[in-house]
Amino acid sequence: MTDIIIYHNPECGTSRNALALIRNAGIEPHVIEYLKTPPSRALLVQLIERAGITPRDLLREKGTPYAQLGLGDASMSDAALIDAMMAHPILINRPLVVSPLGAKLCRPSEVVLDLLPAPQQGAFVKEDGQQVVDATGARVN
């Protein structure tokens, strides 16, 4: 069994699509609803490093207190951005997926295909109607 972890928000269409793509590969991931169970500061830092992104890359603006907290200020330190994400987990963008092949912020959701060690088992159409995988399990570009 392949260990895949998805930091998931069931209210987010991108997150739901990424989860469905993982399952379309025949893999049942560990699903962490990060708004209910936020990562520790150390784990969040580790996830950011493993994904090869910056804390700013992981910040979510839409539907969050991003503007109210002044997080658009480019002079804010990485530590301050992480502090904000710890205080307001909704600021953590999603879905963040970890697999034996690496870790990525999967936006758009089909980025998750790069992390899956198993092929897609059939066609996949995202919630918005966009086909991402054809009937043979091949990625559609």
The residues that are catalytic are 12
DSSP-assigned beta bridge partners for residue 31 = 6
Q: Are 16 and 10 in contact (CB under 8 A)?
A: yes
3-state secondary structure 3-63: CCEEEECCCCHHHHHHHHHHHHCCCCCEEEECCCCCCCHHHHHHHHHHHCCCHHHHECCCC
The owner of tokens 């992104």 is: 53
Q: Are 108 and 13 in contact (CB under 8 A)?
A: no
Q: How far is CA 114 from CA 22, 94, 109, in A?
A: 11, 16, 10
Total number of residues shown for the chain: 141
